[in-house]
Amino acid sequence: MSLLTQGKECVKIVRNLTSEVKNLEKRAGKTLICLRNEMARAMEVLIGEDDLSRAQGSVLHFIFLLGKKQKVYQKDIEQEFNIRRATASELLQKLENASYIIRLNDPDDKRLKRIEITKKGEMHVNKIQERIQKMETILCDQI
């Protein structure tokens, strides 16, 4: 076999491998998306009936964590979740109406409202964290 023929064969093999890798990447991405969806459904079953959406739960958890380190304001939520002011305001209003958070006037700047988690909100976050821990244990046991 000539050097030119060998070179052409190598190019063919590399193209085939490249194609196979691309297909594998596509399948891996799809598999990961499916796995994420399955885990989300399993978490919903574990958590049970919940009066919060995933977005509200995420925001509540963020307020819980950040509130341990510093004062929390609406702009913090807008930046963390990359959402508009109106969206953040609506999320916070629903959390406040359900008594998970309270909004207080900031003594240093009357234009700002400080956000604090309530006891009910803390209890909810703790319950979710316990169930997430249970889910992680179940997953680790299956590995």
- The model's pLDDT over 7-24, given as tens digits with 9 standing for 90+, comes to 566 566 667 767 776 776
pLDDT of 61: 93
Cα(62)–Cα(72) distance, integer angstroms: 9
Rounded to an integer, the average pLDDT of 19-39 is 74
Is the pTM value of this prediction over 0.85?
no
Rounded to an integer, the average pLDDT of 59-81 is 95
Q: Are 95 and 118 in contact (CB under 8 A)?
A: no
User: Tokens 């003594």 appear where?
Assistant: 107
User: What's phi and psi for 104, nearest 5 deg?
Assistant: -120, 150
pLDDT of 65: 94
Cα(4)–Cα(8) distance, integer angstroms: 6
The radius of gyration of the chain's CA atoms, rounded to the nearest angstrom, is 24
Rounded to an integer, the average pLDDT of 108-136 is 88
Q: Is the dihedral of CA 33, 35, 38, 42 positive or negative?
A: negative
* Per-residue pLDDT tens over the stretch 125-134: 998 888 778 7
